[in-house]
Amino acid sequence: MIQFIDGNEALVQGALKAGCNFFAGYPITPATPILLSMMSELPARGFTAIQGEDEIASIGFCIGAAMTGKKALTATSGPGLSLYSENIGLAIMGEVPLVIVDVQRLGPATGSATKDASMDIQFVRWITSGGYPVIALAPSSVEDCYLLAVHAFNFAEKYRTPVFILSSKEIAQTRMRADLDLVALPEILERTSPASTGSGKAKAVSFANELMQPIGIVGGEELSRFTGSSHDEWGNLTKSPEVIASLNHHLNTKIDADDVALWAYSGPEKPKTLIISYGIVSRSVNEALREIKNRETGHLILKTLWPVPETVLKTYLAEAETILVPEMNHGQYLLEIERLKPVGTKIIPLNQINSELIHPKRIAEALLEVSHA
């Protein structure tokens, strides 16, 4: 079915497709339309959506609901994400499956609420004390919003962790022609019920980095135990250095970067010049390459930003002589690429934070400079 919809609408359709059955959020531009949609879509399906008194309550509701077995979603923008951060730490520590949409706008603070920028790329990566890994996906299009919503719920279930969708104003609120039926979706993962352990209690977690771990369900048949304090596999508080080490090692290693890597590449097999982009900027790059009929340049669009898809990046970085990294921030992903590139490869950042999209002309000019150099 062909629709004329924006990224927020597509994201809601993807979340519903993935089985989202709980939403809590607080109004904030440009994420508010997700709140509005969920407030009508979920009750229409017999599920619950609620507007919290603030962002702290909203994510708190989601964490509580998620631990009863719900597939929970919340949506905000940069300032709201600041208020989410303490509970994101809890969600990481308590291994809560949860999808958090961050419709980025130009910050910091109130910034330009209705203007686009990719301001929160490093923010979501380091949002918790301890710097534990998170999963963050970045849509470039309306169709991506739909697809990545499904992936996000799957990854949340698979790895028992909060998953971010780093949308942005331009993707979220610009209507485009889209046919979501043509988007090939992954199989939808459902939470496994707690394994019978014989003791009448559900294990809170296994430190063995198992996928699709059976979660203790609050209100389930086996008594569950959830805690944000250092704990053993049964959710009991612990002071044992060995157990604490196991817990933290598990949290630090549990996400398989290759498994969650999503990307798209177009261009020659071994490009001399490579552009690495994500989010809305990818579209400026596409436009520029088409406009100047450039077929020699490779274009790698990262859909997974965290954990860094190192295998993919290294493969493409191995061949290129020059890498162009356009970003609508001061270069938040640049260092990730710099640390992976072979010695001698030249990296050219292209940054813009002025409330406007990076014009394809700027990309084309940068490419021209590369070819003249």
Partner 1 sequence: MPESIQSYLKPEVKSFPFCPGCGHTTNLHHLDKALVQMGADPKKTVIVTDIGCVGLSDQYFDVHAFHGLHGRSITYATGIKLANPELKVIVLMGDGGCGIGGNHLVNAARRNVGITVMVFNNFNFGMTGGEHSVTTPIGGLTVTTSGGNIETPLDVIGLSQVCGAGFGARLTTFDKELPSIMAQAIEFPGFSVLDIWEFCTAYYSPRNDLDKQAMLAISEAHSLPFGILVNRTDRREYTTNLAAQPAKQTKLPPDLSPRFGTLKSGKLELILAGGAGQKIKSTAGILGQAAILSGGYASQKDDYPITVKTGYSSAEVILSPEPIDFTGMMSPSAALILSIEGFQKEKDKLKEMGPGSFVFLEQSLPEPVTQAQIIRVPFEAIAKKVDRNSVALVGLGVLLSKTGWLSKESVEAAIGIGQKAAWLESSLAAFNAGWETGFSV
Q: Is 258 in the site for partner 1 (CB under 8 A)?
A: no
Smallest distance from partner 1 to CB 330, Å: 21
The residue range among 222-230, 238-246, 269-277, 299-307 that interacts with partner 1, by the rule CB under 8 A, is 222-230
Per-residue DSSP letter, 231? B
The residue range among 234-242, 303-311, 313-321, 329-337 that interacts with partner 1, by the rule CB under 8 A, is 234-242
Q: CA angle, corner 367, sides to 365 and 370, nearest 5?
A: 115
Buried b (16+ CB within 10 A) or exposed e, 195-216: eeeeeeebbbbebeeeeebbbb
Burial-class residue 275 by CB neighbours within 10 Å (0-12, 13-18, 19+): buried
Buried b (16+ CB within 10 A) or exposed e, 100-139: bbbbbbbbeeebeeebbbbbbbbbbbebbeeebbbbbbbb
Among 95, 170, 232, 336, binds partner 1 (CB under 8 A): 170
127-146 positions binding partner 1, by CB under 8 A: none
Among 126, 359, 368, 371, binds partner 1 (CB under 8 A): 359
Q: Determine the residue type at 124.
A: V
Per-residue DSSP letter, 329? S
Among 191, 225, 254, 299, binds partner 1 (CB under 8 A): 225
Binding residues for partner 1, rule CB under 8 A, total 70
Tokens linked to 311: 């295998």
Smallest distance from partner 1 to CB 358, Å: 9
Tokens linked to 144: 């991506």
Q: Is 344 in the site for partner 1 (CB under 8 A)?
A: no
The binding site for partner 1 (CB under 8 A) comprises: 1-5, 9, 13, 22, 24, 40-41, 43-44, 46, 48, 50, 52-54, 56-57, 59-70, 72, 86-87, 89-90, 94, 114, 170, 173-177, 218-221, 223-229, 235-237, 283-284, 286-287, 290, 356-357, 359-361
